[in-house]
Amino acid sequence: GCPRFLTGGCSFCVEPSYGIPQQRTVNAIVSEIESLYNLGVRAFRLGHQADLFTYGSQEIGEYEFPTPNADAIEDLFSKIRKVAPDLDVLHIDNVNPGTIARHPEESKKVAKSIMKYHTPGDVAAFGVESADPEVIRRNNLKGDVEEMIEAVRILNNVGGKREPRGLPHLLPGINLLYGLPGESKKTLEHNMNFLKQILDEGLIVRRINVRQVIGLQSTNLEPTSHKGIKRNQFFKHRQEIRDRIDIEMIKRVAPHGTILQSVFLDAEDGNNH
């Protein structure tokens, strides 16, 4: 579930349909990790949730953007480290940038708690989806452009720290979604301007995911999906992001001299990756 179920959440997402989010207890999570660790697992990612920063919040079910609970995060991560002291990877998944923008101080405390126990190179996946005001309005997205950029600033301020010759501790990852209602050719301009502003401010994002919705038959997106942007426009835009934004961000994430541990290279054979 997602805390934004109170207002219906994002138009394309199934999570709000589950109602109030169900959260596992700290002991349940730690017990599972301990069992896997004892079997030899050394890499863990805390996922399958809409917003990790609201774990343990007492306001879930009352407010669309609950106040983060840093004590709950501290309790969870510290206990994970006690049962898995020599793990290789401990990373997180989704974080609602709207939560960070609305609760900056509490979010900083949460990020600092995570950074005490996780492993560097971590990514907080920001579901920005679109920087087009019309798309944001039509699809009840998480916030306006300035709020999304402010969330990037806040997480950079705390999570951009790095160990000597290592990767930054905790950076945002940007998710952009195309094919949504209200989309037009201007959407491409809005999204590129959003990414350029992040670049021009000297901020860092760990990665940018460019995705498309599928307007399946009998869903709310079927009549409107992919009506505003032509296929060739989308692919040109995606390549522009790779060429103008991604390369510079990679240089910022891992400048010359950075030591990368346990690197796995992608293999490509025709259409197989």
pLDDT (0 to 100) of residue 53: 98
pLDDT (0 to 100) of residue 262: 77
pLDDT (0 to 100) of residue 263: 79
Strand partners, 172: 124
pLDDT (0 to 100) of residue 265: 76
Q: Taking the CA atoms of the chain, what radius of gyration do you get in angstroms?
A: 19
Q: What is the pLDDT of residues 187-246, one digit of tens each?
A: 999 999 999 999 999 999 999 999 999 877 767 776 666 678 999 999 999 999 999 999
Going from N- to C-terminal start, the domains of the chain cover 3-253
Residue/partner pairs of 17-24 with CB below 8 Å, 24 or more apart: 20/60, 20/61, 21/49, 21/50, 21/54, 21/60, 21/61, 23/49, 23/55, 23/56, 23/60
3-253 CATH fold: pyruvate-formate lyase- activating enzyme (3.80.30)
The single residue listed with the structure tokens 């669309």 is 64
Residues in the chain where the model's pLDDT stays below 50: none
Q: What is the pTM of this model?
A: 0.93
pLDDT (0 to 100) of residue 272: 75
